[in-house]
Chains A and B, each alone.
Chain A
Amino acid sequence: MSHFEPDTVRAGDQLPALELTVTRADLIRYAGASTDFNPIHWSDRHARALGLPGVVAHGMWTMGAALRIVTDWCEDPARLADYSVRFVRPVPVPDDEEGARLEVHAQVTAVEDGLATLALEVRIPGDKPVKVLGMATAHVSVEA
């Protein structure tokens, strides 16, 4: 496995893509770990009462899991300076073994003052991919 070389990072670099899956069991686990027990993340009945198709993933799960594309790349999570997202579409998670799939892409859009700007794309794949995070941006230190 190649090591992160901060001085070689350039605008236009693509990070290795990341595929995520999330099942109902993952959401239960995240609810406990994060103490976010909102029932829209574990009860179809509650989710449908609010107009959702069924149980949806925690936005913070999606934000946190997608960030792996950055921290797997730069290896040391302490390099992260900031990270921001908009939650634009929910991620429905069916009650089956497969769960939901997400694909994550990221590109370096600028390198300035020792910080790389990364633009992330997080989508539910399919014939018509659904973008679930908007304006997902991170800044990572590329100091040696």
Chain B
Amino acid sequence: MPIGPEHEGRVYPPTRPYRVSRAKIAEFAAALGDTNPRYCEDAEPVVAPPTFAAVIAARAWQALFDDPELGLELQRIVHAEQRLDIVRPLREGDDVLATLTISKVRSRSTTDMVTIAVRLDAVAGDVLGTATSLLIHTHPEALA
């Protein structure tokens, strides 16, 4: 049975904690060409560029592809929209849990529009924010 509106509200267990490191923040900021001093290895505290949240959130996407009921495959997915809601910036030393919820599914003849919300929480308890993505999934038979 492929993904459909009946899967709205499905929540997957959180991913294993992701430790945010000073070196990874510096690497990510450099890859964006962003020299903001708050991301620099000498800053105190070192905070991550806001879109780094989406990197941790994407680790939770695997649960969708591992769920045999949905019939989703990464190579048939287009990332159409991205939203970040930030409670506080990710900081060096945060251990981050990512919890994915399927919030909306709209099925058409050859595609499904799947909205997923990944909530990010620090293991220590702080709510960090939510990364919401619209994924367009093309049915396998439409590509045959």
B-chain residues with CB within 8 Å of residue A65 when the two chains form the complex: 32-34
| Complex contact B33–A20 (CB within 8 A) | yes
Main secondary structure of the interface of B (DSSP, over half): mixed
Number of A interface residues, CB 8 Å?
A: 31
The size class of the interface chain B forms with chain A is 20 to 34
B54 touches A60 (CB 8 A): yes
CA distance A64 to B84 in the complex (A): 11
B80 touches A86 (CB 8 A): yes
Known: A77-B89, A85-B82, A87-B79. A33 touches B33 (CB 8 A): no
Which one of B32, B34, B80 has the greatest number of beta carbons of chain A within 10 Å?
B32
- The answer, yes or no, to whether B49 is at the interface (CB within 8 Å) is yes
Verify B79–A82 contact, CB threshold 8 A: no
Contact A64 B47, CB 8 Å, known A32-B27, A77-B89: no
Contacts of A20 in B (CB 8 A): 33
CA distance A36 to B58 in the complex (A): 9
**What is the predominant secondary structure among interface residues of chain A facing chain B?**
helix
Q: Which residues of B contact A (CB under 8 A)?
A: 24, 27-28, 30-34, 36, 38-39, 47, 49-51, 54-55, 58, 79-86, 88-89, 132
**The 5 nearest A-B residue pairs measured at CB:** A64-B51, A84-B83, A33-B31, A30-B31, A33-B28
Q: A75-B36, A82-B84 are in contact. List 19 more A-B contacts (CB 8 A).
A: A26-B33, A29-B30, A30-B31, A30-B32, A33-B28, A33-B55, A35-B58, A60-B55, A67-B49, A71-B34, A71-B49, A71-B50, A77-B36, A77-B47, A77-B89, A82-B83, A83-B50, A84-B83, A85-B81
